[in-house]
Chain A
Amino acid sequence: MTRTLDITAFEEGRSLWQDAYTRLCRNKLAVVGFVVLICMGLLALMAGWISPYSYETQDLDLGASPPSADHWLGTDTLGRDLFTRILYGGRVSLMVGFLATAVALIIGVAWGMVSGYIGGRVDIIMMRIVDILYALPFTIFIILLMVVFGQNIYLLFLAIGAVEWLTMARIVRGQVISIRNQEYIDAAIAMGLSRFRILRRHVLPNILGPIIVYTTLTIPNVILLESFLSFLGLGIQPPQSSWGVLISYGVETMEEYPWLLIYPACVLSITLFSLNFLGDGLRDALDPRIAKD
């Protein structure tokens, strides 16, 4: 392997972000994953313009039909266009994925930063709480919540977000502890900055890498959890649909109409693959120290 020395890079100086960007672009799988995700997101957002059908328009005379020129991916047993339903389902699945991850992100980062920065007894208590919550069987608890309070999509965001923040809090705390005692933090303290300002201006930007990486890896977990619940009939309720709901319908009729299972399954797996590839790529690009497991 030959490595040429790029002198301009020394002259201009490259920031961590530029560096990470070049590294990410070199990872083909991650780039493909990113492009696929953008396409998937745009398709889901513009579902109303792309597809001539509405997700609840029924054509009962047609019934379940295999893919054709009118209905690209076929229709389901009620004569609803499968392509349209996958697009609208994607809206719900992706929205749950992003919003629930956002909930987890906010709680986890705040909790981890406070715990790691203040340290001492506060840290011990806050982390003990995380330990205890960690040991709880959360899938079961989300099911319980959905049963008790009804299958409400907003509750679903909250419940899933409330589960996924724990790992984020641990990662953020570890990062904060590792930079807490560095000179520039001492300097900021000496300058009389408030704790909040130090955390926001000096700590947060320096731990952004691991946060971004872990966020990307949380989204597929969340989408998976939502599909799992919807598959059992405990998540998204009809007439709304998500990929999990579509797969669950597809399973019921897979003997007669296998395409109703295969297409939603493909879309879900492609999305999950893309997110995982992008997450792995970002991890390698932003934080070379974290080894692949």
Chain B
Amino acid sequence: MLKFICYRTLQAIPVLFLVITATFFLTHAAPGGPFDSEKKTTPEILERLNARYNLDAPVYEQYFDYLGNLVKGDFGPSFKYVNRSVNEMIMTGLPITFELGLYAMAIAVTIGIGAGVIASLRPNTLQDYLPMSVAMIGICLPSFLLGPLLVLIFSIWLGWLPVAGWGDSSMDKLLPSLTLGIAYAAYIARLARGGILEVLSQDYIRTARAKGLSEPAIVFKHALKGGLIPVVAFLGPAFAGLLSGSFVIETIFQIPGLGRFYVQAAFNRDYTMIMGTTIFFSALIVVFNLISDIIAAWLNPRTRYGESSR
């Protein structure tokens, strides 16, 4: 187990290094400098700006400087917002995005596992088809469509919930979390159903049946632990999906989180901000993939040895 953890952790390092290097050189290859604007800047001012942001040094020197600062956890200053560092902006946006992601994940796991278990109790009956059809709709409907449609129905036509905002009124966190979570609930429901049904066909379940256990007891006590392994392995990628989903959700519902900052930085061509958030997001995703892999390996000893790379 320790060997597996070490191996997976070591594998994460080249990924992060690749992300940092690719991001750095991509943004530096971009045509036009960060200070190109409608207003003409005089050469002297431009020169001073470049010196202030260390842009007059050769590219490789800037690269190693940036790497060095990253190791210290410093993402550098923002190009667009004078006197604000990328770190500050990440720290303002992160708690909000994190809260949103947490609610969405809670919704996805509760509804998803619930629906999956309900469906797997009576496979190939209405009790199976109904939740699975709804799940199919959830997978096909992208969040940038589901969000506006929910707003149209519940906020504009029915007037039950606020249209946008975060923490301004009591109920405004419900719609964004629901929109973000629902697609993942659908995936989790399908994975949970498949996983549980597979476990149910195994020998130790037959033993449990022979012992005379009731069907719910078999599912909840014996099948659930093994059947949920695919769900756990999916949580890492789901987290990555939640992060990129937060770009859309935070734009639709005007939530001042990290995803919205990222999209704005992309529009403003705020290069340090884009670099910083890209690297930060990537690191988060790599870490979460790592954690979900380790938990999945802990639940299922076979993946530790046989299939070492996932």
Contact = CB atoms under 8 A, between A and B. Distances in A.
Partners in one complex: yes
A137 B285 contact: yes
Given A145-B26, A227-B144, A293-B191, A140 B149 contact: no
B274 interface: yes
A254 B152 contact: yes
Interface in B252-310: 252, 262-263, 266-267, 269, 274, 278, 281-282, 285-286, 289, 309
A118 B230 CA distance: 31
Given A135-B289, A227-B144, A140 B282 contact: yes
B145 A137 contact: no
Given A147-B266, A147-B269, A227-B142, A137 B148 contact: no
A282 to B, nearest CB: 16
B148 A254 contact: yes
A149 B15 contact: no
A232 B27 contact: no
Interface stretch (B48-56, B104-112, B202-210, B242-250): B242-250
Contact of A148 (B29, B240, B243, B267): B29
Interface string B143-168: 01100110110001000000000000
Contacts, number: 114
B136 to A, nearest CB: 7
Nearest to B251: A232
A162 to B, nearest CB: 12
B27 A144 contact: yes
B71 interface: no
Interface SS of chain B? helix
Contacts of B213: none
A36 interface: no
A255 B219 CA distance: 47
A250 interface: yes
B145 A269 contact: yes
A268 B142 CA distance: 10
Contacts of B26: 144-145, 148
Contacts of A258: 152
B59 interface: no
A136 B19 contact: yes
A213 B242 CA distance: 27
B57 interface: no
Contacts of B248: 228, 231-232
Contact of A269 (B27, B140, B267): B140
A265 interface: yes
B69 interface: no
Interface string B162-200: 000000000000000000000000000011001000000
Contacts of B19: 136-137
A26 B251 CA distance: 44
Interface residues of B, number: 49
Size category of the A interface is 35 or more
Contacts of B252: 251
Given A148-B26, A255-B156, A258-B152, A137 B144 contact: no
A273 B136 CA distance: 9
B156 A139 contact: no
A135 B12 contact: yes
A140 B152 contact: no
A261 interface: yes
Given A135-B12, A232-B251, A144 B278 contact: yes
A224 interface: yes
23 contacts: A127-B309, A132-B11, A132-B14, A135-B11, A135-B286, A136-B15, A136-B18, A139-B244, A140-B281, A143-B262, A144-B266, A145-B26, A148-B26, A224-B142, A227-B142, A228-B144, A232-B266, A234-B266, A244-B144, A247-B144, A254-B156, A268-B142, A269-B140
Interface of B: 11-12, 14-15, 18-19, 22-23, 26-27, 29-31, 136, 139-142, 144-145, 148-149, 151-152, 156, 190-191, 194, 230, 240, 243-244, 247-248, 251-252, 262-263, 266-267, 269, 274, 278, 281-282, 285-286, 289, 309
Given A234-B266, A258-B152, A276-B136, 8 more contacts: A136-B15, A137-B240, A144-B23, A247-B144, A254-B156, A261-B149, A268-B145, A276-B139
